Amino acid sequence: MEVLLDPRTVNSRKVLAGLKLIGADYSIRKFDYFQAEQKSEEFVKINPNAAFPALVDGDFTLWESNAILQYMQQRK
Ligand SMILES: N[C@@H](CCC(=O)N[C@@H](CS)C(=O)NCC(=O)O)C(=O)O
């Protein structure tokens, strides 16, 4: 499972804090908010809303920080 985010942004930090709290196993793919990489082709393919964070789990993709936290809690 991979989370796509910029750890300097608030919703990314919320997800990182939550994942640490539940002891989830994941990797991070970092993007740069200040270079507008949330609008890059690579990122928008995963989250068409062009906002951090997003999650990839195999063929499944998800965005919205609260949804990601809920999914990870059930998945772990
Ligand atoms: N409701 C969304 C909000 C996501 C959001 O607004 N993320 C900000 C960073 S904290 C972002 O990437 N905004 C896109 C932009 O400013 O272009 C969530 O909770 O994930």
Cβ neighbors of 44 (< 8 A, separation 6 or more) are: 38, 50
Separation of CA 37 and ligand 1 centre (Å): 12
Separation of CA 9 and ligand 1 centre (Å): 8
pLDDT for 18 equals 97
Return d(Cα 75, Cα 57) in angstroms, integer.
10
Cβ neighbors of 12 (< 8 A, separation 6 or more) are: 3, 5, 6, 52, 53, 65
Domain residue ranges of the chain, discontinuous segments joined by +:
2-75
Q: Which homologous superfamily is 2-75 in?
A: Glutaredoxin (3.40.30.10)
Which atom of ligand 1 lies nearest, measured to the CA of 64?
Answer: 20
| pLDDT tens, position by position, 35-72 | 999 999 999 999 999 999 999 999 999 999 999 999 99
Return d(Cα 24, Cα 8) in angstroms, integer.
20
Supply 50's token pair: 């062009």
Q: pTM of the prediction?
A: 0.96
pLDDT for 6 equals 98
- Cβ–ligand 1 distance for 65 under 6 Å, the answer yes
